[in-house]
């Protein structure tokens, strides 16, 4: 007889799912722990706001909200537009190195913001490549184009437009071959093809993607910190950091954090209120329909500009790192201490992220009850409502209220905070294939009488090895390149590479910063490429 | 007449290539059958231009079709599913069969829909139609395109028996009336018996003509 939990009328799901109560209990426990932690941090922010009477609010909140919204809004609109154009071009064109270009675009999501900001300075800054060229050619420079609103937006576009392109390209590549055949046999023009075949395939993804990009831009920290160029272009996230670390204005920081949470929650609610749109997945095999004439020229133009816009700043980072005094930085003990701290924190956060994502995902996939499944999915989105600096502020206040020096709690806090920050991306990577796998193999698993461990060991882990590797790579890279959390907790004795780089920039040691930026970039991209392959092989060999 | 002469194609890493030779005539339905994976859809892809032949010839009334891209070949396609763009209305789907949307278009669409028994459904979204209705809309579009070749890839397999029989009848009568050269790929023996004027089977990557069973003429 089926256990009571599966006896509801909720769905046909229940009738064939393997009975895994322990998975549901573990997932529920994790979800409650995460929810309690977030609630505790949030409560600390609120209590501090209510009890602090001595501080004064020295910041114009509405100016910050307006600036942050304008910056995030422009970033979102332009990222989606450029992302669509790039995805369209990549979907149509076949050329040597196409897979490499797509792979590099995929790495945009993990490229540290501080590295991109540095790349912008290398190209568009006062002593950057563009100014050097104009001074050499015309005898005068065109000024610093990296700072200010458009510098911030351009840096965001490097990360977010390529991220959008990667997601939208997957949708275009998944258009069924049969639909393409019909369209081609009807002789649709490039414009008709886009409006009749492409747009319906991608439009369902645009609102969710826009919401994610808006939130990423709204809560962007290192790029605004480095390229903001002063209070005029400051955003809420940077203002919170400045309030805590520079002005020691906790009340101001708490007010700003509350406003930040409110705006982010509104965006999430608006995005979540839209009914989900079914999307095609997989890769269509019938793609040999190439546009001709002006459309093809336009595709090459878009792709060329996209590659140049994305790669130039990153190439500049590597070039500047190589021509700076690499050996000098590499022989310093402080560098190796920071590098070791970064790697240890990155690996620990990645392991914790995987445990959380797998624990929640397995329980969710084993559960038939809709409300329980919803409940297990909610804590995952903690980061979207409570961004990095706010989360760090919550931790900072909690640690202080417990009478612990922030420096002492720093390692644990940075690991937990980074794991929570990576959790939405990890769950988005692992959740859907895990659900699909459990659904598709449920009858087979039950008929073979496999227990929970056998199901994990012989079916789920081997079949999801790629996704497990991707989750570890994403979480490691996010944590490795993070500046938002470490900025509040870092000390001279406890610093990561991004923090060391930020401090080097702050004290005008740009050569040091250049070397660290180049190493950060190379290490992040290598980890992003190597970790999934490593785990794919590891789990494959053991299965 | 559509003529394939030793039309060859091989997928990457495939040692032996397909080699297709056959004839299909106007006003006739030529059925192609074979086991799963025998190459039925590959044959349609070659005729449609979606796969590029490595050797051999393909001609329609003496005109070489091989240099033409799919959109340049005089053909219409009807598939098991995905024949329509489901987010568009019936009228918009049918209008894609017209080279230009002019003032006559609305009348032509109405007439085409009437011919397939779907008059009055112009403004309905394709997604809201039944499987049989969708195939009829695709046939209405084919009527407007007025191309010589009609390629059918398992077009009845998602339909119930009654709808299936009615749609088969419609395909048969339109082929006669429009003088189409219709190629039907199907693994369903009933469809082949009911429709085929000529019948080829794919065996060992070659086409082999076999006699049409008597029931085909009477249905």
CB contact under 8 A, A182 and B82: yes
Give the pLDDT score at A407: 76
Q: What is the DSSP letter of B125?
A: B
In the β-sheet with B18-24, what is the strand arrangement from edge to edge?
Answer: B63-64, B55-60, B2-9, B18-24, B206-210, B198-203, B28-33, B181-185, B149-153, B75-78
**CATH classification of A18-51+325-543, choosing from 3.40.50.300, 1.10.3860.10, 1.10.3720.10, 2.40.50.140?**
1.10.3720.10
The shortest CB-CB distance from A178 to any of B76, B79, B88 is to B79
CB contact under 8 A, A176 and B82: yes
Q: State mean pLDDT over A378-393.
A: 71
For residues B141, B145, B148, B150, the Cα torsion angle rounded to the nearest 10 degrees is -20
Q: What is the pLDDT of residues A309-341, one digit of tens each?
A: 888 888 888 888 888 877 888 888 888 999 999
Asked if the model's pLDDT at residue B131 lies above 50, the reply is yes
Give the pLDDT score at B219: 40
CATH 3.40.50.720 for domain B1-74+147-219, yes or no, is: no
Give the pLDDT score at A194: 94
The CA distance from B152 to the nearest CA of chain A, in Å, is 12
Q: How far is CA A255 from the centre of its chain?
A: 26
Name the interface residues of B facing A (CB cutoff 8 Å).
48, 50, 69-73, 75-77, 79-85, 87-88, 96-97, 145
Output the six-digit token pair for B143.
């009527």
pLDDT tier at A87 (50, 70, 90 boundaries)?
A: very high
Report residue B58: phi and psi, to 5°.
-145, 115
The shortest CB-CB distance from B71 to any of A179, A185, A196 is to A185
The CA distance from B82 to the nearest CA of chain A, in Å, is 5
CB contact under 8 A, A186 and B71: yes
Task: Enumerate residues 6+ apart whose C-beta is below 8 A from A526.
Answer: none
Does the fold of domain A54-323 match that of domain A18-51+325-543?
Answer: yes
CA pair distance B77, A183, nearest whole angstrom = 10
Q: What is the pLDDT of residues A461-480, one digit of tens each?
A: 878 888 888 899 989 998 89
CB A439 within 8 A of CB A13: yes
Asked if the model's pLDDT at residue A353 lies above 90, the reply is yes
For residues A523, A529, A533, A536, the Cα torsion angle rounded to the nearest 10 degrees is 100
Asked if the model's pLDDT at residue A389 lies above 80, the reply is no
Q: How many of the other CB atoms lie within 10 Å of CB of A244? A: 23
The shortest CB-CB distance from B50 to any of A179, A192, A286 is to A286
Fold for the domain defined by A54-323: MetI-like fold (1.10.3720)
For residues A495, A72, A168, A108, the Cα torsion angle rounded to the nearest 10 degrees is -20
Dihedral sign of CA atoms B167, B169, B172, B178 in order:
negative
CB contact under 8 A, A197 and B85: yes
The shortest CB-CB distance from A196 to any of B72, B75, B85 is to B85
* Residue of chain A minimizing CA distance to B141: A186
Output the six-digit token pair for A237.
């996230």
Task: Enumerate residues 6+ apart whose C-beta is below 8 A from B142.
Answer: B76, B78, B97, B150, B174
Cα separations in angstroms, A250 against A47, A94, A230, A263, A482? 12, 55, 21, 20, 23
Report residue B54: phi and psi, to 5°.
-90, -20
The shortest CB-CB distance from B81 to any of A178, A196, A286 is to A178
Angle, vertex CA A22, rays to CA A18 and CA A28, nearest 5: 110
Between A and B, how many residue pairs show a Cβ–Cβ distance under 8 A? 48
CB contact under 8 A, B97 and A186: yes
Give the pLDDT score at A329: 82
Give the pLDDT score at A125: 81
CB contact under 8 A, A179 and B85: yes
The shortest CB-CB distance from B70 to any of A178, A184, A192 is to A184
Asked if the model's pLDDT at residue A156 lies above 90, the reply is yes
Q: State mean pLDDT over A16-41.
A: 85
Asked if the model's pLDDT at residue B218 lies above 50, the reply is no
Output the six-digit token pair for A408.
């002492």
Closest to B19 measured CA to CA, from B204, B206, B199, B200 = B206
Chain A positions in Cβ-Cβ contact with residue B185 (cut-off 8 Å): none
CA pair distance A126, A508, nearest whole angstrom = 14
CB contact under 8 A, B71 and A176: no
In a mutagenesis test of the B interface, which of A176, A180, A184 is the best target, namely the one with the most B β-carbons within 10 Å? A184
The shortest CB-CB distance from B77 to any of A185, A196, A289 is to A185
The shortest CB-CB distance from B87 to any of A181, A200, A288 is to A200
Q: How far is CA A501 from the centre of its chain?
A: 21
The shortest CB-CB distance from B79 to any of A182, A184, A186 is to A182
Inter-axis angle of helices A333-366 and A497-506, to 10 degrees? 130
The CA distance from A282 to the nearest CA of chain B, in Å, is 16
In a mutagenesis test of the A interface, which of B44, B53, B71, B141 is the best target, namely the one with the most A β-carbons within 10 Å? B71
In a mutagenesis test of the A interface, which of B44, B70, B140 is the best target, namely the one with the most A β-carbons within 10 Å? B70
Asked if the model's pLDDT at residue A283 lies above 60, the reply is no
Answering whether pTM is above 0.90, one says no
Which residues are B89's β-sheet partners?
A: B125
- Pick the more confident residue, A454 or A36: A36
Name the interface residues of A facing B (CB cutoff 8 Å).
176, 178-179, 181-182, 184-188, 192, 196-197, 200, 286, 288-289
Asked if the model's pLDDT at residue A384 lies above 70, the reply is no
Give the pLDDT score at A417: 87
Chain A positions in Cβ-Cβ contact with residue B145 (cut-off 8 Å): 186
Give the pLDDT score at A1: 36
Q: State mean pLDDT over A223-241.
A: 81
Q: What is the pLDDT of residues A488-508, one digit of tens each?
A: 788 777 889 999 998 888 887
Q: What is the pLDDT of residues B143-163, one digit of tens each?
A: 888 899 999 998 888 788 888
In a mutagenesis test of the B interface, which of A176, A187, A195, A285 is the best target, namely the one with the most B β-carbons within 10 Å? A187
The CA distance from B162 to the nearest CA of chain A, in Å, is 25
* Residue of chain A minimizing CA distance to B92: A196
Q: State mean pLDDT over A177-192.
A: 89
CB contact under 8 A, A182 and B81: no
* Residue of chain B minimizing CA distance to A199: B87
* Residue of chain B minimizing CA distance to A180: B82
Asked if the model's pLDDT at residue A514 lies above 80, the reply is yes
CB B49 within 8 A of CB B69: yes
pLDDT tier at A540 (50, 70, 90 boundaries)?
A: low
Q: State mean pLDDT over A87-95.
A: 92
Task: Enumerate residues 6+ apart whose C-beta is below 8 A from B129.
Answer: B84, B90, B121, B137
Asked if the model's pLDDT at residue A381 lies above 70, the reply is no
Helix (H) or strand (E) holding A401: helix A388-401
């Amino acid at each position: 007889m089926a256990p009571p939990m599966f006896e509801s009328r909720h769905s046909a799901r229940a009738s064939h799912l393997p009975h895994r109560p322990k998975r549901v209990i573990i997932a529920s426990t994790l979800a409650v722990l995460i929810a309690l932690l977030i609630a505790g941090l949030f409560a600390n922010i609120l209590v501090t706001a209510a009890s602090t009477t001595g501080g004064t609010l020295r910041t114009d909140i509405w100016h910050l909200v307006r600036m942050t919204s304008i910056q995030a809004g422009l970033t979102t609109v332009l990222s989606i537009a450029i992302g669509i154009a790039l995805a369209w071009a990549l979907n149509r064109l076949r050329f040597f190195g196409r897979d490499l270009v797509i792979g590099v675009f995929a790495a945009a999501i993990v490229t540290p913001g501080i590295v991109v900001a540095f790349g912008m300075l290398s190209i568009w800054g006062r002593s950057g490549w563009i100014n050097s060229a104009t001074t050499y050619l015309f005898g005068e420079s065109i000024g610093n184009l990296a700072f200010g609103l458009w510098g911030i937006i351009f840096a965001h576009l490097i990360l977010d437009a390529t991220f959008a392109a990667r997601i939208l390209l997957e949708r275009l590549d998944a258009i069924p071959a049969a639909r393409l055949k019909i369209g081609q046999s009807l002789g649709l023009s490039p414009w008709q093809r886009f409006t009749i075949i492409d747009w319906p395939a991608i439009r369902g993804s645009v609102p969710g993607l826009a919401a994610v990009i808006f939130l990423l831009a709204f809560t962007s920290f290192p790029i605004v910190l480095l390229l903001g160029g002063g209070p005029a272009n400051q955003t809420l996230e940077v203002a919170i950091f400045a309030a805590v670390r520079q002005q020691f204005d906790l009340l101001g920081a708490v007010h700003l954090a509350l406003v930040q949470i409110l705006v982010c929650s509104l965006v999430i609610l608006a995005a979540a209120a839209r009914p989900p749109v079914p999307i095609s997945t997989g890769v269509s095999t019938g793609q040999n329909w190439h546009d001709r004439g002006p459309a093809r020229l336009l595709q090459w133009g878009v792709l060329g500009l996209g590659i140049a816009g994305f790669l130039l700043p990153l190439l500049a980072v590597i070039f500047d790192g190589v021509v700076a005094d690499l050996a000098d930085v590499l022989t310093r003990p402080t560098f190796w201490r920071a590098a070791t701290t970064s790697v240890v924190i990155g690996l620990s956060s990645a392991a914790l992220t995987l445990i959380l994502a797998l624990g929640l995902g397995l329980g969710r996939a084993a559960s038939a009850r809709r409300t329980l499944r919803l409940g297990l999915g909610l804590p995952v989105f903690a980061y979207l409502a409570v961004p990095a600096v706010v989360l760090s502020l919550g931790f900072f206040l909690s640690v202080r209220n417990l009478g612990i020096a922030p420096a002492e709690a720093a390692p644990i806090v940075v690991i937990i905070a980074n794991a929570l920050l990576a959790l939405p991306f990890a769950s988005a990577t692992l959740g859907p294939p895990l659900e699909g796998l459990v659904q598709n193999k449920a009858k087979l698993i039950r008929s073979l009488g496999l227990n929970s461990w056998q199901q994990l060991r012989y079916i789920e882990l081997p079949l999801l090895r790629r996704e497990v590797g991707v989750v570890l790579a994403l979480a490691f890279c996010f944590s490795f390149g993070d500046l938002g959390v470490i900025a509040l907790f870092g000390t001279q004795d406890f610093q990561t590479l991004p923090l060391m780089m930020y401090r080097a920039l702050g004290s005008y040691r740009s050569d040091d910063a250049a070397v660290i930026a180049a190493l950060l970039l190379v290490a992040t991209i290598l980890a992003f490429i190597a970790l999934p392959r490593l785990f794919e092989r590891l789990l494959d060999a053991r299965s | 007449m559509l003529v394939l002469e030793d039309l060859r194609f091989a997928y990457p890493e495939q040692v032996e290539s397909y080699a297709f030779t056959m004839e299909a005539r106007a006003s006739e339905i030529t059925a192609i059958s074979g086991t799963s994976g025998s190459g039925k859809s590959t044959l349609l892809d070659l005729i449609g231009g979606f796969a590029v032949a490595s050797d051999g010839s393909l001609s329609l009334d003496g005109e070489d079709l091989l240099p033409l891209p799919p959109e340049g070949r005089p053909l219409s396609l009807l598939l098991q599913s995905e024949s329509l763009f489901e987010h568009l209305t019936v009228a918009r789907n049918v209008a894609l069969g017209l080279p230009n949307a002019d003032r006559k278009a609305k009348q032509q669409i109405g007439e085409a829909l009437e011919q397939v028994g779907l008059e009055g459904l112009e403004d309905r979204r394709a997604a809201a139609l039944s499987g049989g209705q969708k195939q009829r809309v695709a046939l209405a579009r084919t009527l407007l395109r007025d191309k010589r070749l009609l390629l059918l890839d398992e077009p009845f397999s998602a339909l119930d028996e009654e709808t299936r029989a009615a749609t088969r009848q419609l395909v048969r009568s339109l082929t006669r009336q429009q003088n189409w050269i219709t190629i039907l790929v199907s693994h369903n023996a009933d469809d082949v018996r009911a429709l085929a004027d000529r019948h080829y089977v794919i065996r060992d990557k070659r086409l082999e003509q076999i006699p049409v069973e008597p029931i085909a003429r009477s249905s």
